[in-house]
Amino acid sequence: MGEFVSLQVTDGVGTIRVDRPKMNALNRQVQEEIRAAATEATERDDVKAVVVWGGERVFAAGADVKEMAEMSHADMVKRSAGLQSAFSAVARIPKPVVAAVNGYALGGGCELALCADVRFAAENAVFGQPEILLGIIPGAGGTQRLTRLVGPAKAKELIFSGRFVKAEEALAIGLADRVVPAEEVYPQAVAWASQFVKGATLALRAAKEAVDRGIETDLETGLEIERQQFAALFATQDRSLGMDSFVEHGPGKADFVGH
């Protein structure tokens, strides 16, 4: 449990909650607490899926500009790897992850949301990568994850301009996956995550790894990654339980055990 970031677990769903009033500015301490929460969520067997949430008012309005303004080139050379790896710890959680976005998700906040597998946005949510307006570029994965999500042309337009993207446009371009009333964002994200609590844990892990690793490479290599993951699952008890249940009772009725 960090000062500003916590992992709260209920019925198999872990919520990584960022709570640094007023705007959840992502200073170095928050970044490291995000890393710690993501690591804990990865390691805990009782966490089957994860929600990343900044609360009812704001997801995260960006980096702590006052802190960054004091940093020299040498300071940022030392810090930039830690900044990226703290966010990557969320992206590498080997379980389904959903970002529940209320209010602003700007700069580092947008980059944090991009680390999730899917994004649920409030009707009043606002996304953006406005770093260019500070004379810099996104440094926590925005130029890479945004490009892979919405395509290079749209990513460049958003990053070059630094403009804000409202929820409906975010949905249209694939930056958001669902838009709902503000009060429904977190409950719907938890409901989405809850469907995996009794799922085939190793198969979910394999599916996520195959997609995430495969998209970084050529098709032939990606297919080999898939083949290896697919074949490996035939060594699991869940595969036997799932197939036996399908034969006897039809699809969707297996009681998986997670190994």
Identify whether the C-beta of residue 209 lies closer than 8 Å to the C-beta of residue 228.
Answer: no
Report the catalytic residues.
111, 131
Rounded alpha-carbon distances, angstroms, from residue 241 to 161, 201, 234: 52, 13, 11
pLDDT digits (tens, 9 = 90+) for 149-197: 999 999 999 999 999 999 999 999 999 999 999 999 999 999 999 999 9
Q: Which domains does the chain have, with CATH numbers?
A: 5-194 (3.90.226.10), 201-249 (1.10.12.10)
At residue 141, the pLDDT reads 96
157 backbone dihedrals φ, ψ, rounded to 5°? -60, -45
At residue 171, the pLDDT reads 98
Whether pTM exceeds 0.75: yes
pLDDT digits (tens, 9 = 90+) for 1-16: 799 999 999 999 999 9
